[in-house]
Amino acid sequence: MDQITIKSREERFLQPIHKQPKSESKLSPREVQFLRPILRTGKAFYVVIPALIVLVLWVLYAWYTQLTQGLSVTGLRTPVGAIWGLYITNFVFFVAISAAGIAIASGIRLFKLKDYIALARMAELATIFSLMMAGMSIVMSIGRPDRLFNLILNFPARLPSSPLIWDVMAVFVYLVFAITYLYIEMREDMARLVGKVKWGWLYKLLLPGYRIGERHRIEKIVFWASIFNFPIMFMMHTTVGWIFGLQVGRPGWYSTIFGPYFVLGAILTGMSVVVILAAIYRKAFQWEEFIRPVVFKGLSKFLMWMSILYLYFILSEFMTVTFAGPSGEQAVWESLTGGEFAPLFWLQNGALVIAFLLFFVNTVFKKAFRIGTTVIASCLVVFALWIVRFLIVVPSLLRPFLPFPTGSYNPSWVEWSLVGGVFAIEILLFMVFTKVFPIMPVTELMAEEEEGNHA
């Protein structure tokens, strides 16, 4: 088999597992800083976690109500009204967040972006948890979740024709890939901490086949995986766009722009969520020297370009329909620009414009840069893009081609509960993961420091 003869610099920090003494192996002061979430629990934790658990119990109750009484407890109706609503909005939104991990983690490893290493794992987690939440949103929205397995059973026959099956496949592939990616790059950190933190026993369980020095090969695998991340990410978001873009049956949906529109929206949403995550972690665990302002400067610049591009896409759609659109499309866009959805539509556009201006000021005027501005702008982007997705799904459903009476969509308490609950569950997952596993890529960061010291 393979003989390990490479003595990498990491090996000076590592102990082989089977020789690990169970008691007090000291953590270096740097490691203590990185592992702050695992080693101590702040007061906020004891307040937020019970609150989230209560919310989750409420969500389970709401879901139980929906399962036993059917989707009649929601505001979804057909043919008068909208048959897709908040759940599908949530699904698209969470899938969009999942672009985060790919963009940051793959970019870091492919383009050797040393400043962003600290964000790698939290971005990957955003991907994984968001994909799970997207899947859950879909299960919440279908009428017969007890027949979920029919999706698998009929998968080969439906593959050539159903955009929804492409989506199921994309979520499966992306989720499997993302978890594997996270797992293999996390192995080294777990191995390093086996005897040293209280969750060490769990790490040992999750490390079958670990060998010292596997880091070298893992790094190469991760490099290639990062490359193939990109076509997977592009296809993932394009197929979500194609659920809408390939339907002739609804005015306002059938459009060639939807594939690229959704990819761009995903990159925008994902990066903004990474900014918010980075800011929260930085503040919560006093990681100011590892998540440095340069990170926020770079993301600010990137998001400036992405947000103006996105506004350009919205303008493009607006121009095309308003100048010479068929009457079906005109009716939908009238409801957006001047009808019942006008407040939401202009709120969305206003938030995006303000976000762009904030990013612009942050990037162009060096003295005016503030991390807080970047975070506020990112929150505006996330808020606006949830509304964007709502306005993609619902207005077209309320203006069908045939002149059924114009209905309205009034989401019920069940829908709001389940939508909010999905957010709560994602936050809960983040908090639990941070408590149990190292959220900072310890090995990579220590290696960076060593390189810096020797340079």
Partner 1 sequence: MKRREFIKYSAGSIALALLGKYVGGPVLGKIAVDETGKSPVKSKTKEKARAIDGLGTVADPSNRFGLAIDVGACIGCRRCQWACKESNNIPDTISPPWIEVFQLEVGQGVTGEPSLEDLRDGATTSYTKSPLAGKWYMPVACNHCDNPPCVKVCPTGATFKDKDGIVLIDYDKCIGCKFCVVSCPYTARRFNAFIPEIPPEKVNPMVPLRVEGVVEKCTFCVQRTRRGTLPMCVEACPVGARHFGNLNDPDSEISSLLNSNPYFQLLGELNTGPNMRYVTRGKKWIK
Partner 2 sequence: MHEAASPMWVGYIPFTILVGSLCLAILASILVKPFFARTTFVFVGTIFFLLSALIAGTWAGGMFFSLIIPG
Closest contact distance (angstroms) between CB of 79 and partner 1 is 4
Among 157, 206, 342, 368, binds partner 1 (CB under 8 A): 157
Handedness of CA 179, 185, 190, 193 (dihedral sign): negative
Smaller CB separation from partner 1, 215 or 399: 399
Q: What distance in Å separates the CA atoms of residue 150 and residue 173, rounded to the nearest whole number?
A: 18
- Output DSSP code: residue 78: S
Helix (H) or strand (E) holding 274: helix 258-284
Any idea which residue has 């024709």 for tokens? 161
Closer residue to partner 1 in complex, CB, 335/362: 335
Q: For partner 1, which is the closer residue by CB, 152 or 368?
A: 152
Q: What is the 3-state secondary structure (H, E, C) of 411-445?
A: CCHHHHHHHHHHHHHHHHHHHHHHHHCCCCCHHHH
CB of 289 vs partner 1, minimal distance in Å: 39
Q: Which of 15, 56, 113, 163 touches partner 1 (CB under 8 A)?
A: 163
User: Cβ distance 398 to 82 under 8 Å?
Assistant: yes
Q: Is 35 helix (H, G, I), strand (E, B) or coil?
A: coil
* Residue 2 interacting partner from partner 2, partner 1, none (CB closer than 5 to 8 Å by kind): partner 2
- Binding footprint of partner 2 on the chain (CB under 8 A): 1-2, 64, 67-68, 139, 144-149, 151-152, 159-162, 166, 169-170, 172-177, 179-180, 183-184, 187, 208-209, 211, 214, 217-218, 220-221, 224-225, 227-228, 231-232, 234-236, 238-239, 242
Residue 370 backbone dihedrals phi, psi, to 5 degrees: -135, 140
- Overall residue count recorded for the chain in this entry: 455
State CA 306 to chain mean position distance: 16
Is the backbone peptide bond immediately before 343 cis, with ω within 30 degrees of 0? no
Residues 30-69 that bind partner 1 (CB under 8 A): 69
Is residue 316 within 8 A of residue 257, CB to CB? The reply is: yes
Query: Least distance from C-beta 38 to partner 2, angstroms?
Result: 23
Choose from partner 2, partner 1, none: what does 402 bind? Cβ within 5-8 Å by kind.
partner 1
Compose the 69-108 pattern: x for residues touching partner 1 by CB under 8 A, - for all others: xxxx-x-xxxx---xx------------------------
- Which listed range, 128-136, 244-252, 366-374, 375-383, lies at the site for partner 1 (CB under 8 A)? 244-252
Residue 173 in the binding site for partner 1 (CB under 8 A): no
Q: Where are the alpha helices (DSSP H) in 20-112?
A: 29-34, 36-39, 43-69, 86-97, 99-101, 107-111
- Coil, helix or strand at residue 318: helix
Instruction: Establish if 141 lies at the interface with partner 1 (CB under 8 A).
Output: yes
Number of residues in contact with partner 1, rule: CB under 8 A?
A: 50
Nearer to partner 2 among residue 36 and residue 211 (C-beta): 211
* Contact positions vs partner 1 (CB under 8 A): 18, 69-72, 74, 76-79, 83-84, 138, 141-145, 147-148, 150-151, 153-154, 157-158, 161-165, 168, 208-209, 243, 247-250, 326-328, 331, 397, 400-405
